[in-house]
Amino acid sequence: MNTNTEPLINLTNVTFSYRGYEEKALRDVNAAFFPGKCYTIEGPNGCGKSTLFRILLGLDFPDEGEYIFDGMPITARKMKNEAFARNFHKRIGFVFQDSEVQLFTQSVRDEIAFGLYQLHLPEDEIREKTDEFLKLFDLEALAERAPFTLSGGQKRRVAFAAVFAMDPEVVVIDEPLSGLDEKGQAFITQFLKGLKGGKHLIIVSTHNRALADEIADVHVHMAEGRIVDFEGEN
Amino acid sequence: MSSKLLKLIAKLFTDDVSFQKNDSDRKAAGSVLLLSAFLCVILCSVSTNPWFVSCILAALLLSVSFMKAGQIISVLKPTLIAVAFAALITLPAAFMGSPKTVSTVTMKTAESVMLVAIVSERMGWKGMTRAAASLHLPDLFIMTLDTTVRYLHILGRFAARMAEAVSLRQVGEKNWKTAGTGGILGTTFMKSQRQAQMNAEAMACRCFDGTYKSLYRHHWNMTDMLVLAADAVLVVFFIYLQNAAA
Amino acid sequence: MHIPDNYLSPQTCAVMAAVMVPAWVISVKKVREELPKEKIPMLGVGAAFSFLGMMFNVPLPGGTTGHAVGGTLISMLLGPYAACISVSVALAIQALLFGDGGILAFGANCFNMAFVLPFVGYAVAGLIRKRIQGSKGEMIGAAIGSYVGINAAAFCAAVEFGIQPYLFHDAAGNALYCPYGLNISIPAMMIGHLTIFGLAEVIFTTAVYAFVRRVSPAMIRTEEGGKTSVGLKVLIAVLIAATPLGLLAAGTAWGEWGADEIAETGIGYTPAGMEKGFSFEAILPDYSAAGVPEVAGYILSAVIGVALLIIIFKLLSLIPQKKKAGA
């Protein structure tokens, strides 16, 4: 069913090391991600998953090699341009592993509305969309609560709602199940399963084999800063 | 130290939950409460008629008596401390030819501290940032206010845990106290700095362009009207008593 | 140093708030222009930190403790304009949620601790860093800057207190607000701040600054040319023009009172007060001039009495509950 021949995201020979560190966090990474598919990035701690995500989100930039997003190279110089950066981030969303750092407003409702305000939608539409996502993530009863006083599972749901409400084409999710209880894990797994076959390009890092098996179209295995295998790619 | 921190965290949390529980259609707007409190403190401060301040005190006490016992404590505790402090500090003035200062300053202090404590109890920090928003303060200021409360909660929890860890390890070593304070504060600061950086990245990922707005809208209700009516009565009463005193 | 309400006259509070408005406007503008967006959350961190810093008792030599404001520290890390906003927010939360510092006096408290303290501390630290190179200069700058900063703030507070009895008193000479003149308020405020609180601020500032410098030197704000210093000069000019000292202009400058002037003020009242002797009645409010029917007094006492009774009973109801919870 792979009708998309053009990859949305293309990494060629990407190498990266953090400032002050000699060791390379990413070595010669080549990858192509197609729209409408779900990729899970698997590998041990320190294999370069988080670094890869920072590159994909335009928070860090390759030392060598190239990152092309929908035909546009993403470079430090281009991201300095605020309009370009905003346009880019409109299309790619990121759910952090630590939900605490991702949530900054004083109520769950405002958290979801935050991104919509940045898109300069009319207020009626923002209100409508916010209500829709409060319902979708079962957050209605918590709508006026401050995100930072919620439990880990509730925070994760808020983070998901806030990112998905902006309707990005690509969603990058770092360890969606870490620190959640069974109920929370089931909720998120169910939600991610529901996205399968949709228009989104989903990239998820996880240690949880069961989750990966449930949701992945392609399993990407990483080790020591390299991608070692694309399992399920046709 | 950590018991103080835990109290702070608890207060931020209860404010949050109580805001959720209370129907905002029945509560007065934070901005109305804040401006009324302001008006009341100004009038008391300017008033030269002790009757005025006494009546306000009586009204405040009456409204305190309607509160729950737990709330009463959190209103009266700061009030009593402030009154004791005011009496102590102004007492010498009685011997320096300014005897009435003791009673006026003490009474007015009691009035203003109790009033603010009541408003704070009714409003909570959420009402406060919402009041700031409806008074059209700049986004930057409101965002800083929200961020501050959030970090008070996060860092308060963190610092309390660390203080606990330090006190658990603290066996017989003498200089831990000083070292501990610098270390706890320093580490807390570093943690907050890392968190703030990640926050900023999370904001950038959601297209942050400086807009910081809330969907919350306060609907004009009966309580607002009542508070405003009380303000009007207050002003009339003030003018009447001020003329009577003159 | 948190001034509660009714120690300063509303007029003084209005003047101080009027001074703070342009300071806030300029600070918000400057922060928007100069602080990179990714550092904006740090404003909240600074405010939260100043707040938490005030909760820590810094142990001092001699066994006493004191607490700090941290204004100089924040200004050295984020710049004085950001510090102004951060400390103002911390003070607003303290005033409104914890009853520390009055709401009328908010402008005055901000003037002292969110404006004078960080700007003076920052300027002094900057001067020293220019003279003494390297880390030594930075640490000495942090120490002296924070010490001078907090004392400048305390001095402003002392002046605000001290001018009250000269300007605001009733016909009988009773002070309406703070009863002590400059001759008392200045030494009373300064002795504490030159010693305990000044030291606490120095220890707080240098300890955290040294820690941050060691662990994350990138955090330290680097000088960015003279851009800030122009704005700084303008603000200091505003400070000089509009401080409460301006209110004093009608009188004599501090420290230059003649003997007869002292007699009119402060301790100078003493003979009159002593002559009459100290009577308890004198401190009770004067009810006769109230212009209220006598019956109102009874109603008022009844209201206060009933309210107090309800409060006492509600508080009593707490006691067994607490015991149950404990058991």
pLDDT, one tens digit per residue, over B152-192 is 888 777 777 777 777 776 655 544 445 555 667 777 777 77
pLDDT reading at A60 higher than 70: yes
Packing angle between helix B99-134 and helix B50-65, nearest 10 degrees?
A: 50
Whether the CB of C299 is below 8 Å from some CB of chain B: the reply is no
Is residue C322 predicted with pLDDT exceeding 70? no
Task: Classify domain C10-264 at the CATH class level.
Answer: mainly alpha
Residue C163 and residue C248: Cα distance in Å, rounded?
Answer: 7
C-alpha span between A221 and B67 (Å, rounded): 61
The answer on pLDDT for A3 being more than 80 is: no
Distance from CA of B218 to the nearest CA of A (A): 13
The pLDDT value recorded for residue C299 is 66
- The arithmetic mean of pLDDT across residues A35-46, rounded, is 90
Identify all chain A residues contacting B212, using CB atoms and an 8 Å cutoff.
105, 114, 117
Indicate the pLDDT class of residue B245, thresholds 50, 70 and 90.
low
CB contact under 8 A, B16 and A57: no
CB contact C290 to B (< 8 Å): yes
Shortest distance between the Cα of C226 and any Cα of chain B, in A, equals: 25
Q: Which residues of C touch B59 (CB under 8 A)?
A: 303
Please tell me the distance in Å from B158's CA to the nearest CA on chain C. Answer: 11
pLDDT tens, C229-279? 444 444 444 444 433 333 333 332 233 333 333 334 444 333 333 333 333
Q: Domain boundaries in chain C?
A: 10-264, 289-326
Q: Encode pLDDT of B57-89 as tens digits.
A: 999 998 888 888 888 888 888 888 888 888 888
pLDDT tens string B101-137? 788 888 888 888 899 888 888 888 888 888 888 888 8
Residue of A98, A104, A114 with shortest CB distance to B150: A104
Between C299 and A102, residue with greater pLDDT: A102
Using a CB–CB cutoff of 8 Å, tell me whether A202 touches chain B. no
pLDDT at C290: 47
What is the model's pLDDT at position B22?
A: 55
The verdict on a CB contact (< 8 Å) between B153 and A115 is: no
Helix axes C41-55, B139-169, angle to 10 degrees: 40
Q: What is the pLDDT of residue C205?
A: 86
Q: Give the separation between CA C41 and CA B197, rounded to whole angstroms.
A: 8
Residue A110 Cα, gap to closest chain B Cα (Å): 6
Which structural domains are found in chain A, ordered by start? Answer: 9-231 (3.40.50.300)
Beta bridge partners of A10: A32, A68
Q: What's the rounded mean pLDDT across residues B42-54?
A: 86
| DSSP class of C175 | B
Residues of C in contact with B173 (CB under 8 A): none
Tokens of C24: 């806030």
Question: Which region among B200-214, C43-57, C244-258 has the lowest average model confidence (pLDDT)?
Answer: C244-258
The percent of residues above 90 in pLDDT, for chain A, comes to 61
Chain B from 35 to 94: CB within 8 A of any A CB: none
Which site among C1, C12, C27, C56 would you substitute to test the B interface, given the most B Cβ atoms closer than 10 Å to its Cβ?
A: C56
Chain B residues with CB under 8 Å of C95 CB are 116
Q: Give the residue with greater pLDDT, C141 vs C49.
A: C141
Most B CBs within 10 A among A101, A103, A120, hence the mutation to make, goes to A101
Query: Under a CB-based contact definition with an 8 Å cutoff, are residues C105 and B128 in contact?
Result: no
Question: Which ipTM value was assigned to this complex?
Answer: 0.85
User: Please, which pLDDT band fits residue C294 given cuts at 50, 70 and 90?
Assistant: low
- The subunits that touch chain C, with at least 3 C-beta pairs less than 8 Å apart, are B
Section A84-109 average pLDDT: 90
Residue C219 binned pLDDT confidence (cut-offs 50, 70, 90): low
pTM attached to this predicted model: 0.75
For residue C277, the model assigns a pLDDT of: 36
CA pair distance C124, C122, nearest whole angstrom: 6
Q: What is the pLDDT of residue B165?
A: 75
CA of A217 to nearest chain B CA: how many angstroms apart? Answer: 25
pLDDT tens across C298-320, in order? 666 666 766 766 676 667 666 65
pLDDT in tens, A163-217: 999 999 999 999 999 888 899 999 999 999 998 888 889 999 998 889 999 999 9
Phi-psi region of C101 (alpha: psi -120 to 50; beta: other; left: phi over 0): left
User: Residue ranges per domain, chain B?
Assistant: 26-136+216-246, 138-214
Q: Is the model more confident about A138 or about B173?
A: A138
For residue C66, the SS3 value is strand
CB-nearest partner of C5 from B45, B101, B155: B45
Among C4-8, C46-50, C81-85, the minimum mean pLDDT is found in C46-50
In this prediction, residue B172 carries a pLDDT of 52
Measured CA to CA, the distance from residue B69 to residue A225 in angstroms comes to: 60
How near does any CA of chain B get to the CA of C233, in Å?
24
Residue of A nearest to B148 (CA): A104
Distance CA A92, CA A86 (A): 10
C262 vs B: CB within 8 A: no
Residue-level pLDDT at C173: 75
If one compares A136 and B7, the residue with the highest pLDDT of the two is A136
CA distance B223 to B31: 13
Partnered with residue A40 across adjacent β-strands are A204, A219
Q: What angle do CA C184, C190, C194 make, to 5 degrees?
A: 155
Residue scoring higher pLDDT (B153 or A65): A65
Instruction: Flag whether pLDDT at C224 surpasses 60.
Output: no
If pLDDT is split at 50, 70 and 90, which confidence band does C108 have? very high
Report yes or no: B22 and C262 within 8 Å, Cβ to Cβ: no
Count contacts between A and B (CB, < 8 Å): 99
The count of CB pairs under 8 A between chains B and C is 330
Query: Three-state secondary structure along chain A?
Result: CCCCCCCCEEEEEEEECCCCCCCCCEEEEEEEECCCCEEEEECCCCCCHHHHHHHHCCCCCCCEEEEEECCEECCHHHHHCHHHHHHHHHHEEEECCCHHHHCCCCCHHHHHHHHHHHCCCCHHHHHHHHHHHHHHCCCHHHCCCCHHHCCHHHHHHHHHHHHHHCCCCEEEEECCCCCCCHHHHHHHHHHHHHHCCCCCEEEEECCCHHHHHHHCCEEEEEECCEEEEEECCC
Please name the chains neighbouring B, where neighbouring means 3+ C-beta pairs under 8 angstroms.
A, C
Flag whether residue A162 sits within 8 Å of chain B, measured between CB atoms: yes
List of chain C residues whose C-beta atoms are within 8 Å of the C-beta of residue B112 = 4-6, 102-104
What pLDDT was estimated at residue C262? Answer: 35
Judged against a pLDDT cut of 70, whether residue B2 lies above it is answered with no
- Find, in chain C, the residue whose alpha carbon is nearest to that of B139: C28
For residue C123, pLDDT beyond 50: yes
Closest CA to A167 of A121, A212, A215: A121
Quick one: pLDDT at residue C309?
63
A114/chain B closest Cα distance in angstroms: 7
pLDDT: is C29 or C321 the higher one?
A: C29
Are the C-beta atoms of residues C111 and C119 closer than 8 Å to each other? no
Cβ contact, residue pair B153, A148, below 8 Å: yes
- Nearest beta carbon to residue C104 from set B11, B42, B243: B42
Q: Are A54 and A60 in contact (CB under 8 A)?
A: yes
Instruction: Name which of C88, B199, C39, B149 is nearest A106 in CA terms.
Output: B149
Say whether pLDDT at C58 is over 60: no
Chain B CA closest to residue C31: B140
Out of A18-32, A202-216, C173-187, least confident range: C173-187
User: Residue written as tokens 């003047």?
Assistant: C15
Distance to chain C for B204, nearest Cα, Å: 8
Q: Tell me what pLDDT residue B3 has.
A: 67
Cβ atoms B146, B162 nearer than 8 A: no
- B237 CA to centre of own chain: 27
Contacts with A57 from chain B: Cβ below 8 Å? 201, 205
Determine the distance in angstroms separating the CA of B212 from the nearest CA of chain C, rounded to an integer. Answer: 12
Task: For residue A93, name the pLDDT band (cuts at 50, 70, 90).
Answer: very high
Q: Which residues pair with C218 in a beta bridge?
A: none
Measured between CA atoms, the residue of chain B closest to residue A120 is B211
Percent of chain B with pLDDT over 90: 9
Mean pLDDT score of chain A, rounded to an integer?
A: 90
- The per-residue pLDDT for range A175-189, each reduced to its tens digit, is 999 888 899 999 999
Q: What is the rounded CA–CA span in Å between residue B168 and residue B163?
A: 9
Predicted local distance difference test score (pLDDT) of residue C248 = 34
A93 interfaces chain B, CB cutoff of 8 Å: yes
Chain A, 107 to 126: residues with Cβ < 8 Å from chain B are 107, 109-110, 113-115, 117-120, 123, 126
Phi then psi dihedrals of residue C8, to 5 deg: -115, 150
- Is residue A61 over pLDDT 90? yes
Report the candidate in B119, B194, B122 with the shortest Cα–Cα distance to residue B151: B194
- Of B199 and C287, the one with more pLDDT: B199
Contact (CB, 8 A) for B173 and A57: no
pLDDT band, very low/low/confident/very high, at A1 (cuts 50, 70, 90):
very low
Torsion angle of alpha carbons C81, C82, C88, C94, nearest 10°? -160
pLDDT at C143 over 70: yes
B68 with C303: Cβ contact below 8 A = no
Mean pLDDT of chain B, nearest integer: 81
